[in-house]
C-alpha cells in the first residue's frame, strides 16, 4: 500500500551536550516502543511549496529542533534493569513514502480506525533485529497520497516523554516551518528601471540630500486632496507623485513605496507598549505605473499607500514571520542596508516615518530639545525619513536622498503642488 522512497537519519544542526542523562522513576514505567503513534492528515494546499521543498523544510526544521531537544537525538541504554538516556546526537529517523493506492484520498481517512488500513502510514523499526541501544527515539514518516494530500506519522519512545510533552515538541516544530499564507512581495526584489540591465548603474549615480518642511496647514490641504486618513498616507502619496514626475521615466515604468509599520497594536494579542525590541514589519504598496500615478488624482495614489498599511493584520503578520523563518539561508538579502540587499532607489521610494514618536519629550534636565533630526541614514537614492516638526504644531520635517539629477525637479513639484492644492479650495 505504501512504498518507501527514502529513509535518513536527521541529526542536530549544531553541536549538543554529550553524556548520560538519568531517567526518573516514572520514566521507567511506560513501554520502550514508539507507541502510540500519531497520524496527521492534510489536504492538498495549492499555495504550498512543492513536495520536494516540503520534505526539505521538514528535515531542516527538525534538525534545528533537535538542538534544544537534543535528548531526542540520543539512545536508550539499559543498566541493571533501569533505562538511562545516552545523549550522543545519533539522530532521529525520517522516512519519505508514497501511497500506492491511487484511489485513496485524504477524505478516506477522516475518522480512521487504528487498524491495518493505516498501518503503513506509521513509521516503524524492526525491534527484533535492531538492538535497543540503536533505536532512534523519534520516528517520522511523510507519506504523499495521489490526491496531493499528505500524512505525517510520528512515533516517540514512551520511555522518553508522554503525549503532552510530545505535542509541545510538535507544536514548536511546526511553528518553525509553517508555510506563509501570503506572497510577501515586501521581501522580494522591487521593480527595476526599464531598460537598465545593471542595477549598479543606478546605485552609482551621484546622490544629493535635502530637508523638506511641511506646515500643518499644508498637511491638511494634502490630506483633503488625497482623501487620506493619516498624515503619512497623504505625504507619502504626494512624494510618490513628485518622484514619478521628477524622474521622467517611461509611463509604463512599475514603481512601489516600501515603508515600515508598527505592529504593536496589530498583533493578537497586542504587543505590550513596554516591549523592547523590533515590532515593525515592511509595508509595501501595490505595484503601480508612472503613468497611472500621474494621470490619476492624488486620492488614487493615497489609496495604494493605505493598502500597504491595512494589509498588516494579525494573519498577515504571522504569515510574514513564518516566511522569514524559512528564509534563514538568504537573510542577508533581506536586511535593510545590506550590500546584497534589495535596491529601492529609482524607480521606487523607501520612506521611514517617525512622526508619531515622542521625539520632543526628550528632556535630560535642560528642557525640551529645540530640534530633533536624522543625523545619519542609509545613503541610497529614494530613501527618506519623516520626523515631527520642532514647534509641536503638527508640522513635519522630511529628510530625503535622491539622485542629484532629479532633486531640483522633485523639490519644485513638491512645494508647487502643495500650494496648488490649497488654492484650489479658496
Interhelix angle 231-247/298-310, rounded to 10 degrees, is 120
Sign of the four-CA dihedral 287, 291, 294, 299: negative
Closest CA to 216 of 414, 362, 391, 354: 391
Which is nearest to 203 in space by CA: 331, 330, 344, 385? 344
Evaluate the omega torsion of the peptide bond into residue 50 and state whether it is cis, within 30 degrees of 0.
Answer: no
DSSP secondary structure, 380-410, as one string = STTEEEEEE-TTSSS-EEEEEEEEHHHHHHH
Q: Is 363 a catalytic residue?
A: yes
Catalytic residue among 34, 158, 184, 406: 158
Please, is 141 exposed, middle or buried when counting C-beta atoms within 10 Å of its C-beta (0-12, 13-18, 19+)? buried
Residue 262: how many CB atoms within 10 A of its CB? 15
Q: Please name which of 284, 281, 283, 279 lies closest in space to residue 269, comparing C-alpha atoms.
A: 279
Q: How far apart are CA 306 and CA 231, in angstroms?
A: 11
Catalytic residue among 111, 198, 204, 363: 363
Catalytic residues, by residue number, are 158, 363
Amino acid at each position: 500500500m505504501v512504498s518507501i522512497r527514502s529513509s535518513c537519519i536527521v541529526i542536530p544542526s549544531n553541536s549538543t551536550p554529550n553524556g548520560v542523562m538519568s531517567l526518573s522513576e516514572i520514566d521507567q514505567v511506560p513501554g520502550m516502543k514508539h507507541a502510540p503513534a500519531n497520524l496527521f492528515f492534510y489536504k492538498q494546499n495549492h499555495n504550498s511549496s512543492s513536495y520536494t521543498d516540503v520534505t526539505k523544510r521538514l528535515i531542516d526544521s527538525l534538525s534545528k529542533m533537535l538542538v534544544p531537544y537534543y535528548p531526542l537525538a540520543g539512545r536508550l541504554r539499559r543498566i541493571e534493569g533501569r533505562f538511562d538516556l545516552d545523549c550522543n546526537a545519533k539522530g532521529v529517523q525520517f522516512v519519505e513514502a508514497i501511497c500506492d493506492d491511487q484511489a485513496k484520498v485524504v477524505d478516506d481517512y477522516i475518522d480512521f480506525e487504528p487498524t491495518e488500513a493505516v498501518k503503513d502510514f506509521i513509521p516503524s523499526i524492526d525491534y527484533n533485529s535492531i538492538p535497543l541501544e540503536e533505536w532512534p527515539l523519534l520516528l517520522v514518516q511523510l507519506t504523499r497520497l495521489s490526491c496531493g494530500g499528505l500524512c505525517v506519522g510520528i512515533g516517540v519512545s514512551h520511555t522518553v516523554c508522554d503525549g503532552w510533552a510530545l505535542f509541545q515538541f510538535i507544536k514548536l516544530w511546526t511553528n518553525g516551518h509553517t508555510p506563509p499564507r501570503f506572497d510577501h512581495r515586501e521581501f522580494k526584489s522591487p521593480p527595476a528601471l526599464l531598460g537598465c540591465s545593471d542595477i549598479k548603474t543606478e546605485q552609482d549615480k551621484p546622490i544629493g540630500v535635502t530637508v523638506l518642511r511641511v506646515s500643518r496647514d499644508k498637511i491638511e490641504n494634502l490630506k483633503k486632496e488625497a482623501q487620506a486618513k493619516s498624515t503619512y498616507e497623504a505625504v507619502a502619496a504626494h512624494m510618490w507623485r513628485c518622484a514619478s514626475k521628477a524622474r521622467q521615466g517611461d509611463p509604463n515604468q512599475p514603481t512601489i513605496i516600501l515603508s515600515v509599520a508598527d505592529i504593536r497594536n496589530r498583533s493578537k494579542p497586542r504587543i505590550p507598549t513596554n516591549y523592547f525590541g523590533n515590532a515593525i514589519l515592511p509595508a509595501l504598496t501595490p505595484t503601480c505605473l508612472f503613468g497611472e500615478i500621474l494621470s490619476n488624482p492624488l486620492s488614487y495614489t493615497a489609496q495604494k499607500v493605505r493598502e500597504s498599511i491595512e494589509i498588516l493584520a494579525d494573519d498577515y503578520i504571522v504569515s510574514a514571520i513564518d516566511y522569514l523563518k524559512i528564509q534563514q539561508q538568504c537573510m542577508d538579502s533581506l536586511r535593510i542596508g545590506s550590500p546584497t540587499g534589495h535596491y529601492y532607489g529609482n524607480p521606487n521610494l523607501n520612506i521611514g516615518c517617525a512622526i508619531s514618536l515622542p521625539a520632543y519629550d526628550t528632556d535630560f534636565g535642560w528642557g525640551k530639545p529645540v530640534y530633533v533630526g536624522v543625523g545619519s541614514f542609509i545613503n541610497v537614492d529614494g530613501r527618506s525619513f519623516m520626523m515631527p516638526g520642532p514647534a509641536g504644531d503638527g508640522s513635519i520635517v522630511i529628510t530625503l536622498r535622491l539622485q542629484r539629477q532629479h532633486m531640483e525637479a522633485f523639490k519644485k513639484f513638491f512645494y508647487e503642488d502643495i500650494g496648488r492644492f490649497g488654492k484650489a479650495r479658496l
